[in-house]
Amino acid sequence: MSTIVALSTPRGRGALAVIRLSGPTAIEIAAQMSGLRDLEPRKAKLAKLNRERQVIDEVILTCFVAPNSMTGEDVVEISCHGSPAVVRQIIDRTLDLGAVLAGPGEFTLRALSNGKINLAQAEAIRDLISAQTDAAVKQATRQINGELSQALDPFKEKLVEVIVLLESALEFVEDDLPAPRVNAIEQMLGSVTAGVEKLSASYSSGRLLQDGVRVTISGRPNVGKSSLFNVLVAHERAIVTEIPGTTRDTLSEAIDLGGIPVILTDTAGVRETSDDIETLGIERTHRALSDADLVLVVLDGGDEVGPADRDLLSHTAESRRLIVMNKCDLPTFRGADSCLGVGQTINVSARTGEGLDGLRQAILESLNSAGIDDQGLLITNVRHYDLLCRTKQEVELALAAFHDRHSEEVVLVPLHNALKYLGQITGETTTEDILSEIFATFCIGK
Amino acid sequence: MSFDETFDVIVIGAGHAGCEAASAAARLGAETGLITLNLDLVGQMSCNPAIGGIAKGHLVREIDALGGIMGRVIDRTGIQFRLLNRSRGPAVQSPRAQADRMRYRAEMRRTLEATSNLHLRQGKVVDFVIHHGQLAGVNLEDGRCFGAKAVVVATGTFLNGLIHTGRRTYRGGRAGEPAAVELAEALKNLGFPVGRLKTGTPPRLDGRTIDWSAFEPQPGDKTPVPFSFSTDEIEQEQIKCYIGYTTGQVHDSIRQNIAESPLYSGKIQGVGPRYCPSIEDKVVKFSDKSRHQLFLEPEGHDTNEVYLNGFSTSLPAELQQDLVRMIPGLEEARVIRPGYAIEYDFVDPRELGPDLQTSRIAGLFHAGQINGTTGYEEAACQGLVAGINAALFTQKREPLRLRREESYIGVLIEDLIKQGVDEPYRIFTSRAEYRLALRYDNADERLGQYGREVGLVGDSDWERFNTRQARLAKLRTALDNTRLRRSDAQHAAVSALLEADLGDVISLAQLAKRPKVNSELIMSLLPSELKPIAEADLNSVLADSLYAGYLDSQKATIARLYQHDTLKIPRDTPFGSISGLSNEIVERLDRARPQTFGEARRLPGLTPGALSTLLVFLSAQQKSA
């Protein structure tokens, strides 16, 4: 097994950078670079790193001895000054001393293969690294801490309990075992389907935290959509990195709105161009509207509500939407026309920035009421979602078979499948585990 | 080299593994020497006098389908037959029989002596003869030296056996018999990793001193289901077993004397089987149970000896006598042989390939308890596979390998060679992912062909096999083609019976899948010109259709499992540089140099995690190529 090295903090200039070494020669490499042979586990130590008798940097070395480290191997963390040149020199030096550059996710992979973390945690680490906003980070952190596994454990335990009851009834027919109670088994399986369903339902929110909430600004020409778009993008913190799955061919910008990643799309500029492009633009607008998690319908508060406005209002009546009355700074601003019958509206001025905080608040409230918030554990990974759905399906099959009084070996087929699916999130339950549980539960042995 | 005698195959040990191994090798044409410490104890049942049980009965059926002998011998000497799990589905039903211990031994010896090419020899093997790095034969304690091209080691608990009763310990392979100490040393010297396991046995009682009226009789089945597909009828006179219980007084007394048990005094180091606990273990670990079930099993027609099943113990002999007398109905009982615990050596089965040949020494095979298993049936099936493959090895033929989706034997061998053991390994149906397909009644369909191809299934058995297949095919067609129509009187009668609407027309095959439909009903609806129909045939066909939906999805799973098998592994693949593979796995891959992913998948010791890492690596290589 090789010793791997990588920069663990983001690339670029910063006050500090952390370089991590992991593998059998990690401590030896650190010793050779620093001249320190007496590194104590888990004690930070000030050191000068040398290359050809020249000091590269003054750093803090912290070593972790296997198996008590993040990867389960010997690990050394080098906190150096955050200059790209320094980082490059230190990494070059470790390469000279036999380390190899880590492949993507290799630290996590090693932690996974050394049993330091389970698959769900590994995936959560990946999510954390690519997480865009505080709320997404919070979700990823929760999963690293095993919260997803913890949330699933009770269901897994119940499944195992039922499997143990049914397997022992089959396997140890000559032993003096108590007969499994039908009601208890149905109840346990019922609680598993309910719980798994609840968790998998959180994916609709979790997905948004991971991929971004799509908020689309729509309105007839000249109501100030683009101004609103621009002012919102300027007002909120822009997310610079690409969010996977979004295209930037339309006017889209990713922003961090109170911790929730939002992909803001402007459907502006459709009417002003030629006919062909107009058709294309309308199509695009319709697609953006139907894809949107939230539509901002912008009306000109200084103008009459015209037929185009009414069309749009009826078109979006079924969508989650906010009605935004722009141009509230104008003296001619009339506010919401009560005869519109669209309920509450939000007054803003894209030009002066007036009312933007209120809009932001309204957007967040609207998302929260849709269940999109950072409270509670959410499923953010499509693989997890898929596995939870399958789990639920299998348990339902088992319940039906059990209800129809099928023999245990038949009921057990979907139960084992369900356990396998859950195990793909939290780690496998082996036949050996089940047998151990049987022998711990019942006195077996003719 | 000069040998006193030369064989193709030598089998060490004539227990359940050794007997099958020697019989199979000899019948495949290999001159076979079967060497045992005591020729009078060939096929001895060291522990309970019974064959079969859930999953174990499946193994015996599979042995029989492949052409092994255990099923035939127990059919001729069984004194109580029961098909277990009758109330459950056909996949988890399994035959079990009490054996007449002495008659089983005699019948086994008779069977072996009637086998040409098979030579029984009494003696104690103390070492292997290795000539120019090749296995050449074995040395005996009395100075004889036998030559062989292949050797099957089937030494059971004799390998460095150490017997415990109370605080006393002595060397032995079974009570009153010597241990194979030198051979254990020889295996260690060859570099085999050796571990220690433990098992135990209960006291045997004098049947004349038992108050039988205090126990609940347990009769066998009225119509015994035999183990062998070749057996038409069970001829032994059938007996009853009896069920009784321990009492709180027994438990208290065991607890007071627990320090006398070598299990609890720390004298025993070996790991025992959790599913076959001693009475000490039962009392200590399940202290809330007010009683534990016991079975009184008569050992045969020609003896008064009774086996006290459920009371395995290594407590001091005199204490065993006292404890037995606290059991209601055993107040006057006398112990004939005390129970004891025995520790013995086993060799890490991850040393073996799927043919049960060691990867360390070509031509050396291990079978039975030496591989960490427990149970006569587990031993016998390994003996059969090792014996077949030892003969095939000497004949330079392709080995027989059984897959886990087609047999319990395949499950057992793959579990052993891939995962190793840390307690005595017993087969369970839950170990088989595809258990719905692995029924006791279709073992012939699953494995008969292999037995025939290898050469163990003789002409008359093969003819019977084909006749049965033809009958089953005819029956399947009949079930599909016999339809009930709304206009038929039977349609109305069946609808009324099931309280269900059957539609305008329904085939018997469809009807059979409905709840509350049993084989008697189907039998009554089948056309009379097909009759008589054997109940076993109908049950087999109905079982196929009962599980059909599940079996289809299992087939798809199996196909998915093997979809990467043809993926090529380039000759120069640097296994050591694949991150995520442990040194141990890299070593195994380097040693075996598999050419396809399928070959790698079958290698012993390769964990699912390692396989998926390898698969990811190979797929990535292929993409970049």
pLDDT in tens, B511-559: 888 877 888 999 999 998 888 999 999 999 999 988 888 888 777 767 7
Secondary structure class of A32 (helix, strand, coil): helix
B194 pLDDT above the threshold of 80: yes
The strand pair at A4-7 and A100-101 is best described as: parallel
pLDDT computed for residue A273 by the predictor: 42
B153/chain A closest Cα distance in angstroms: 27
A177 pLDDT above the threshold of 80: no
- Using CB atoms, which residue from B282, B435, B582 is nearest to A445? B282
pLDDT computed for residue A259 by the predictor: 74
Summarize pLDDT for A304-348 with one digit per residue, the tens: 888 888 888 888 888 888 889 888 888 888 776 555 666 778 889
- Whether B430 and A435 lie within 8 Å, measured CB to CB: yes
Length of chain B: 625
Write out the two tokens for B112: 């072996």
Nearest CA in chain B to A442: B286
- Whether A443 and B292 lie within 8 Å, measured CB to CB: yes
- Whether A409 and B88 lie within 8 Å, measured CB to CB: yes
8 Å CB contact between A32 and A78? no
Residue A198: count of CB within 10 angstroms of its CB = 11
8 Å CB contact between A272 and A265? no
- Whether A443 and B289 lie within 8 Å, measured CB to CB: yes
Write out the two tokens for B266: 């720390």
Q: CB-based contact (8 Å) between A409 and chain B?
A: yes
Confidence band of A247 (pLDDT split at 50, 70, 90) = very low
Q: CB-based contact (8 Å) between A439 and chain B?
A: yes
Chain B residues within 8 A of A172 when measuring between CB atoms: 54, 275
Summarize pLDDT for B54-76 with one digit per residue, the tens: 999 999 999 999 999 999 999 99
| DSSP code for B214 | G
Question: The dihedral of CA A200, A202, A208, A213: what is its sign?
Answer: positive
* Closest listed residue to residue B202, CA positions, set B293, B307, B283: B307
Confidence band of B200 (pLDDT split at 50, 70, 90) = very high
A407 pLDDT above the threshold of 80: yes
H or E segment at B168? Answer: strand B168-171
Residue B177: count of CB within 10 angstroms of its CB = 16
pLDDT computed for residue A172 by the predictor: 87
Distance CA(A326)–CA(A220), nearest Å, equals 12
Length of chain A: 446
Chain B residues within 8 A of A174 when measuring between CB atoms: 53, 84
Backbone dihedral angles phi then psi of residue A125, each to the nearest 5 degrees: -65, -40
Q: Return all residues near A160 (Cβ < 8 A) that are at least 6 apart.
A: A419, A429, A433, A434, A437
SS3 annotation, B81-150: EEEECCCCCHHHCEEEEEECHHHHHHHHHHHHHCCCCEEEEECCEEEEEEECCEEEEEEECCCCEEECCE
Confidence band of A271 (pLDDT split at 50, 70, 90) = very low
Summarize pLDDT for A31-77 with one digit per residue, the tens: 999 988 888 899 999 998 887 777 888 899 999 998 889 888 999 99
- Whether A1 and B583 lie within 8 Å, measured CB to CB: yes
B316 pLDDT above the threshold of 90: yes
Write out the two tokens for A351: 């030009």
Q: How far is CA B35 from CA A426, B155, B173, B344, B351, in A?
A: 51, 10, 15, 20, 24
H or E segment at B170? Answer: strand B168-171
B385/chain A closest Cα distance in angstroms: 24
8 Å CB contact between B46 and B177? no
pLDDT computed for residue A270 by the predictor: 42
8 Å CB contact between B565 and B559? no
Summarize pLDDT for A75-114 with one digit per residue, the tens: 999 999 877 677 878 888 888 888 887 765 678 777 777 7
Q: For A64-75, give the DSSP string.
A: E-TTSSSSSS-E
Distance CA(B127)–CA(B400), nearest Å, equals 28
- Whether A445 and B310 lie within 8 Å, measured CB to CB: yes
* Closest listed residue to residue B258, CA positions, set B292, B281, B286: B281
Please give the interface size between A and B, counted as residue pairs whose CB atoms are below 8 Å apart: 94
A371 pLDDT above the threshold of 70: no
* CA A414 to chain CA mean position, Å: 29
Secondary structure class of B152 (helix, strand, coil): strand
- Whether B275 and A444 lie within 8 Å, measured CB to CB: yes
pLDDT computed for residue A240 by the predictor: 46
- Using CB atoms, which residue from B85, B87, B550 is nearest to A413? B550
Q: How far is CA B569 from CA B566, B576, B597, B599, B607, in A?
A: 9, 14, 7, 9, 18
Secondary structure class of B203 (helix, strand, coil): coil
Place of tokens 């199509």: A283
8 Å CB contact between A380 and A139? yes
Say how many CA atoms lie within 13 Å of A100 toward its Cβ.
12
B374 pLDDT above the threshold of 90: yes
Distance CA(B276)–CA(A278), nearest Å, equals 80
Select the more confidently predicted residue: B380 or B2: B380
Distance CA(B346)–CA(B195), nearest Å, equals 5
Distance CA(B323)–CA(A31), nearest Å, equals 66
Mutate to test the interface with B, among A397, A431, A432 (most CBs of B within 10 A): A431
Q: Return all residues near B246 (Cβ < 8 A) that are at least 6 apart.
A: B279, B291, B292, B294, B311, B327
Q: What is the mean pLDDT of residues B559-574?
A: 79
B422 pLDDT above the threshold of 60: yes
Q: CB-based contact (8 Å) between A178 and chain B?
A: no
A95/chain B closest Cα distance in angstroms: 16
A90/chain B closest Cα distance in angstroms: 23
8 Å CB contact between B297 and B311? no
A229/chain B closest Cα distance in angstroms: 43
What are the strands, taking DSSP E only, across A240-393?
251-257, 260-266, 294-300, 321-326, 345-347
Summarize pLDDT for B137-178 with one digit per residue, the tens: 999 999 999 999 999 999 999 999 999 999 999 999 999 999
Q: Return all residues near B111 (Cβ < 8 A) that are at least 6 apart.
A: B23, B69, B72, B73
Chain B residues within 8 A of A167 when measuring between CB atoms: 430
Q: CB-based contact (8 Å) between A441 and chain B?
A: no
Q: CB-based contact (8 Å) between A106 and chain B?
A: yes
Distance CA(B441)–CA(A222), nearest Å, equals 81
Q: Please classify residue B71 by burial: count the beta carbons closer than 10 Å to its beta carbon, then call 0-12 exposed, 13-18 middle and 19+ buried.
A: buried
